[in-house]
Chains A and B, each alone.
Chain A
Amino acid sequence: MTATMIKEFRLPDLGEGLTESEILSWKVAVGDTVTLNQVIAEVETAKAVVELPSPFAGVVAALHEQPGSVVEVGKPIVSFEVDDAGASTGGNGPAAGDQAAGEPESTGEPQPTGGSGSNGGSGSDGGSASNGGPQPVEASGAAASPAKREPNLVGYGAVVEHTGRPTRRVRAQVQGETPQARPTEAAREPVATSHPEAATAERPRSTPPVRKLARDLGIDLQLVPGTGPGGLITREDVQNFTGEAEGTSAVPTGPAATGERETRSPIKGVRKFTAAAMVQSAFTAPHVTEFLTIDVTATMELLTRLKASKAFEGYKLTPLTIAAKAVLIALRTNPTLNSRWDEARQEIIQFNYVNLGIAAATPRGLTVPNIKDADHLTLRELATALSELTDTARAGKTSPSDLSGGTISITNIGVFGIDAGTPILNPGEAAIVALGAVRKAPWVVDDEIAVRQVMSLSLSFDHRLVDGEQGSRFLADLGAILSDPAMVLTMV
């Protein structure tokens, strides 16, 4: 007989870059005779459960690891007793890296070698027997060891939930709560005591933008119930929480007997922009609002005369037209209301032109397009610009340049029958005038009660830029013009 030698089979890297594998089971025992590529073990890697084919033909001399043991790549797991290299027809495979080994062979087969690759596909001659070769090695079931760490694999994406996520991911808030339910102190408390590690280790589940929103609004996310997947706190949750904190959620009883009690819609588009602008404005510019109620009968009479005149034939004239002109005139003597606070550069910008913004209700929401260089326009030009501006805005076709660069604004709340308000500044501007409704009211004229056409003016201004005196003078001048248009003669 021929001499034998011991060959070791070291655990290979069965995936791409794996460092260890677990021996699940041995398919052979010490003393067994194995053939080349015979399955000898089942091994689980981080990627798959695979069968290990024997690299040698010979007799199993030793199994170095027990089933269940985790073995480092490169450690010997089996020793084989094989015939000395090239010595017999028994068929031994070449050892890994054993450069001296003879030609390997499948067990019991003749040893034809060479020339195979150059086969152009034409037929060749040969003997008989079945379609040979060991069965393809395939990864078998992945049922074992569900609790093991699951790395991300090429092409798989993240490990899916049901393969056993760490329990720390389970959220207390998810348990049995309906999305709308507000955790009471009582409801939260058991959670905190029964899972103290969770309560301390985890911050409420949310997303960075929502966290920022909550921070900006001064809301503690711990108090906000999440309605998103897995108890995620959504933007809506934070916003709804704001509403409740402010007491605005005092839902009137009674209405909406049928249908939803509340309708939710995403904050987007103009509404979102408006909100951001208003918040920014309200919390950066210290607002002061002043009111003045005036008798505008003279202005209304002027309006009637102008409408009837040939010079204004075809022009659309409204109280807004006259008021806009009056604002522009009043600004000449009170320019500080037409300025801007530049926080970044620590400068005050005094505009020597007026881009007059007009708040417009459009199908998309509130927009404030402005009339560029309005101070240079005649009354007729101003009337044209105003009607164009409102038509464009109502059609939703206002261009971005029309919406930027305003220096002062007018909001005509009178068209809704409202008398006065405390308007919030269009961001970056120093003043905004709200025009109230023109309505007949008892008014003292020459110490007599008379029925006159009366309106209220509301002026908000940025107190950083405009002192009370300047704001008051501007409002008084504006009132003077609209009370008695002839007063313009004293101002220009």
Chain B
Amino acid sequence: MLTDKAGKGVQNDAPRPGQSAQNPLRTGGNLLQLVSPEGERISHPEFDLWIKDIGDEQLGSLFEDMTVIRRIDTEATALQRQGELALWPPLLGQEAAQIGSSRSLRDDDFVFPSYRESGVAYIRGAHVSEIAQVWRGNALYSWDPQRINMATPQIIIGSQSLHATGYAMGVQLDGASTAVLAYFGDGATSEGDVSEAMVFAASFQAPVVFFCQNNHWAISEPVRVQSHVQLADRPTGFGIPSLRVDGNDVLAVMAATRWAMDRARSGGGPTFIEAVTYRMGPHTTADDPTRYRDPNELEDWAARDPILRLRRLLDAKGLLTEELEGRVKAKADAVAAELRTSCVNMPDPQPLDVFNHVYSTPNSWIERQKDHYSRYLKSFNQPVEEGAL
């Protein structure tokens, strides 16, 4: 159990879950925070209840997962620089937002990610090779969404919010207790798709949680020019209650996500969570943030680094042992090595593979096209193989 070092009189005036549920209008710009950037545990009368099961061991495993996905990110970035990946969207700085939310899900919950949720995919059970495959340009998709209950990465900004809402409406029709989580960023809240998704989610009270990682930058466009109100104030206009949480505080993210998912599951309808975080790296490996970003900003946010914060909390609780750190490092290195090996050894897809997954059942028209294309390729006197996709 956590022993609350509780707050030095820190006022935590974040909205209480009950209040939010009754009154969809969020109260002001309060930021739910359960761990300060200095690693102090801040108590909260309502949200503490949602993480009371998080004991020492769980804190350690959160630390491990956050460290591992940062390592995945680092290795993948290096692989891109070495020509092994075509592109990579770094998640550096968003580890608490991704781990805190994804660790709050049940296996039967369904996740609709954007393209940056590699950490979420790792937690859901995607193999690192599956995470890398699309970015290597090796396949159009990778993991089986039904196996890990997580859709493949959505490149189109915000579209997955519609998919999530539709899935949640299906869950309603099935009478299931599944809840649905849609990830998107601050820029996506400027897209029509997200607005439309919120309209339908509110109208049908669909069991969906909109999890917005406000990382402050939509590529080169800062969030401040995209919205004159806080992003958490946008959903209230749709009648969707919202929470604004410190996205670099893994416990706050967990508490908020658990509360919102529970609310969805129990018929409470949709919730919007704004996880205030920061994209410490470039938008993708093809981006250079120094062109548009003040380096002081990065410095400010480095002081609020989510892993650093958790380390401080663990340290304060006497949990940051050599054993823990060694175990976590070994795990991170192992995962990184696995990522590298599986990435560089991935067989290239073959030309005829493109026909393989158009239909799930045999289709004469596709077979005909495949035959034509096969004969076309043979005209180059090249061997035609079917790859092991």
Residues of A at under 8 Å CB distance from B?
Answer: 9-16, 37, 47-55, 93-99, 101, 103-106, 109-114, 116-142, 153-157
Contact = CB atoms under 8 A, between A and B. Distances in A.
Contacts of B292: 156
Contact of B81 (A53, A133, A153): A53
20 contacts: A12-B82, A14-B80, A14-B81, A16-B284, A54-B82, A94-B344, A106-B337, A112-B330, A112-B337, A117-B128, A118-B125, A118-B127, A119-B123, A121-B102, A126-B327, A127-B327, A127-B329, A131-B325, A136-B281, A140-B290
Interface of B: 57-58, 60-62, 64-65, 67-68, 70-71, 73-75, 77-78, 80-84, 86-87, 90, 92, 99, 102-103, 122-123, 125-131, 218-221, 280-292, 307, 311, 321-338, 340-341, 344-345, 347
A47 B288 contact: yes
Nearest to B340: A104
Contact of A139 (B288, B307, B331, B337): B288
A455 B210 CA distance: 79
A71 to B, nearest CB: 13
Contacts of B78: 37, 53, 134, 137
Main secondary structure of the interface of B (DSSP, over half): helix
A155 B130 contact: no
A48 B291 CA distance: 9
A154 B219 CA distance: 9
Contacts of A98: 344
Contacts of B129: 117
B291 A142 contact: yes
Nearest to B326: A128
A299 to B, nearest CB: 66
B320 to A, nearest CB: 10
B341 A103 contact: yes
A119 B65 contact: yes
Nearest to B107: A120
B333 A136 contact: no
Contact of B92 (A116, A119, A136): A136
Nearest to A74: B83
A104 B287 contact: no
A113 B333 CA distance: 9
B81 A117 contact: no
A129 B325 contact: yes
A113 B282 CA distance: 29
Contacts of A137: 74, 77-78, 81
B83 A117 contact: no
Contacts of A133: 70-71, 74-75, 329, 332-333, 336
B286 A16 contact: yes
B81 A156 contact: no
Contacts of B285: 14-15, 50
A12 B331 contact: no
A53 B75 CA distance: 10
A126 B77 contact: no
Given A120-B123, A129-B325, A142-B290, A96 B82 contact: yes
Given A55-B82, A123-B64, A134-B74, A114 B288 contact: no
Given A96-B84, A131-B328, A156-B219, 7 more contacts: A14-B285, A95-B344, A117-B126, A117-B127, A117-B335, A133-B333, A156-B292
Contacts of B347: 99
A117 to B, nearest CB: 4
Contacts of B71: 132-133
Contacts of B280: 136
A339 to B, nearest CB: 53
B365 to A, nearest CB: 33
